Amino acid sequence: MGARGITVNTISLGAIDSPEFREGKPQTMIDSIAKQSPSKRLGDAEDVAPLVGFLVSPAAQWINGQNIRVDGVSRLFYTPLHVENQYVRKQGAVV
């Protein structure tokens, strides 16, 4: 793919404010997730768009095979495994 000028990268999003993110969550949960971020807010499309624009530009031609996290460091505080890991610890297992 590199010989054709094709690069393959992924962007892993954290808590990005969208209808899909909000679906099924009470407002108190959304507020709690936002407060866990150092910026005290959810991310939005404007937080992600510049990275997407860069990755598709010629300036990123040497970046390939990368997974770039855009999560406002929220992964340190809120991940899908966060609650599950707490449960496992309470059961005495090593996580």
pLDDT digits (tens, 9 = 90+) for 11-53: 999 899 999 999 999 999 999 999 988 899 999 999 999 999 9
**For 59-80, what is each residue's pLDDT tens digit?**
999 999 999 999 887 555 555 5
Q: What CATH number is given to the structural domain containing 55?
A: 3.40.50.720
Report the predicted TM-score, pTM, of the whole model to 2 decimal places.
0.67
Q: Is residue 37 situated within a structural domain?
A: yes
Q: How many domains does the chain have?
A: 1
Sequence-distant (6+) residues with CB within 8 A of 35 are none
Residue entry with tokens 């094709």: 6
| Residue ranges making up the domain that contains 84 | 2-90
- Mean pLDDT over 75-91 rounds to 46
Q: What is the pLDDT of residue 89?
A: 41
Summary count for the chain: helices (H), strands (E): 4, 2
